Structure 1
């Protein structure tokens, strides 16, 4: 059974007009008729019938159209898959926190796109929990997360281990003990949707402490850092985001936190061999 004849039937079945179908395919009408007749002879079924001036599908023609549509859809999918083997192309979406997007990924993406100009990269600012869900839902191709991922269908690639610190502005810390800071100022916290909040909860529980008051400002590292610098209260932050402030003395460490932030990259295991995911995974792991 020739694909050419099946393709001709597909177009005829869609147009239900031999003249239009022949023009669409670039055939003469007699050539098109011969191809349909050859297919009918091979299948031992009449596929088309005419009622007056109308061309209609027979019962066999209607059934064949279902199979032919599925066949050519599969062929198109096969062609797309084969085309992808030529190299990365199309849209690549990376989910990551606002901090990772602005401080880590933005400089990397420029270099990646210089290497693979056929790829357009989208950065999607999401916290770790939402980043994991976005990969599961095929909204993002990969995600950079600051938490463990226990999903069995995910591949997790380690990127970095980062210290966490209990900090306050240096202005507040002058002549104040840890206990006095706890009593006089609120704790600036991430919301519960943020995976980093688990580290915070375990810190207070293991030290048998409880903040006198708390301000929840969402999942933005930068917002919490600004609140600390403004003297609003104290917070637990990763060392990377406050490196400059520690160096210039505007933020003081009240106490190191024993649990570190583990940064990793995730993608669905079944998609690991896709050129876009394979190349961006290797590139980020090498450049991080």
Structure 2
């Protein structure tokens, strides 16, 4: 069956008037008659009948009208979805840690939405482990995480490599050696679900040392930094999280951590070509604010 003939039948069935249908479709009346006859011949059923001057649908015509109406609704949905794939539109959900949500993403998202005004962006504050799971479950389209994700089904877009530092409040570090600071103070840790966990574990393994006590503050860089500033203990943080405190001297670097913090954007590989995901990944690679690497040898407050 030709869609053209079905569309003609749909309009005639709605108008129940060949003249009005012809005007609406832009066809001549003989053309409409020929199309209806072709459809009736193909289906082997009369679709229309006349009672006096009134045109009515037959039983077959009524059934066909129901099917045709659903068919063209479905066709409209196909056309709409295919049109949406021509460019970014709709909702883009991004999962990221509190640090990324507050420090980097608001400005980036505003710029992205200026370029692609048909896209609305939602932010989900989640630690890296939960952000990865949100992408896998389809809750988020993209996650910004503080480590590389090498899962076979994930596309990984590198954004930045950041130095990890063992730090303490400068009030605690005055006239004390590294060994005494570690022995006398509490280690302030992320929770076990944080992507930094493996960095922490590796650091203490290489140092052949375990903290005398540990306080888990959670997955927030800001909370851990505030705990350090308040003299609760020492912690491992990324250089970007403490750059201002290093400049004003309120935080002291105890030691450089060998494992760096890798910032990445991830999404499911099967969704990589979706316009929202593809354009945001491309945008991130060009717009992500990369900070200069600290030259620790030049830091006079590095504890020896």
Shorter-chain TM band: 0.7 to 0.9
Residue 93 (str. 1) matches residue 80 (str. 2): no
> Number of residue pairs matched?
263
In the alignment, which residue of structure 1 is the partner of 2:140? 140
Q: What are the Cα deviations for residues 209-246 of structure 1, in whole angstroms up to 9, with x where unaligned?
A: 11111110110000000000000111000000000001
Give the superposed CA RMSD.
3.1
Task: Report the Cα distance in structure 2 between the residues aligned to 1:162 and 1:148, rounded to whole angstroms.
Answer: 12
Displacement after TM superposition at 1:182 (Å): 2.1
**Equivalent position of 2:168 in the other structure:** 168
- Contact 1:191-1:216 within 8 A present in 2 as well: yes
Instruction: State how far apart, in whole Å, the 2-side matches of 1:142 and 1:260 are.
Output: 22
In 1, Cα distance between equivalents of 2:151 and 2:71: 33
TM-aligned CA distance change 1:189 to 1:27, over 3 Å:
same
Larger Rg: 2
Task: Report the secondary structure of 2:83's partner residue.
Answer: helix
Equivalent in the alignment of 2:261: 261
Q: Tell me what 1:108 maps to.
A: 108
Are residues 1:28 and 2:29 paired?
no
Distance 2:45 2:195 in 1: 63
Alpha-carbon shift at residue 248 of structure 1 (Å): 0.7
CA distance in 1, matches of 2:247, 2:39: 79
Residue of structure 2 equivalent to 1:220: 220
What is the rounded CA distance, in whole Å, between the counterparts of 2:265 and 2:190 in structure 1?
21
Q: Are residues 145 and 45 of structure 1, via their aligned partners in 2, closer, same or farther at CA, if it must alter by over 3 Å?
A: farther
Distance, in Å, in 1 between the alignment partners of 2:37 and 2:235 is: 79
Give CA-to-partner distance per residue, 1:13-51, whole Å, 9 cap, x none.
xxxxxxxxx8xx98223669x99997565244799xxxx
Q: SS of the counterpart of 2:42? A: helix
Distance in 1 of aligned mates of 2:274 and 2:260: 32
Partners of 1:249 and 1:40 in 2: CA distance: 87
* Alignment-derived partner of residue 192 in structure 1: 192
> Residues 44 and 204 of structure 1: is their aligned pair in 2 closer, same or farther, counting only changes over 3 Å?
farther
The separation in 1 between residues aligned to 2:77 and 2:2, in whole angstroms, is 17
User: What SS does structure 2 have at the residue aligned with 1:260?
Assistant: strand
Name the structure 1 match of 2:81.
Answer: 80
Q: Is the 8 A contact 2:186 2:214 kept in 1?
A: yes
Q: Does 1:153 align with 2:153?
A: yes
Are positions 1:235 and 2:235 aligned together?
Answer: yes
CA 1:226–1:70: 2 relative to 1, 3 Å: farther
Query: 1:74 and 1:145, CA in 2 relative to 1: closer, same or farther beyond 3 A?
Result: farther
Residue of structure 2 equivalent to 1:118:
118
SS across alignment from 2:233: coil
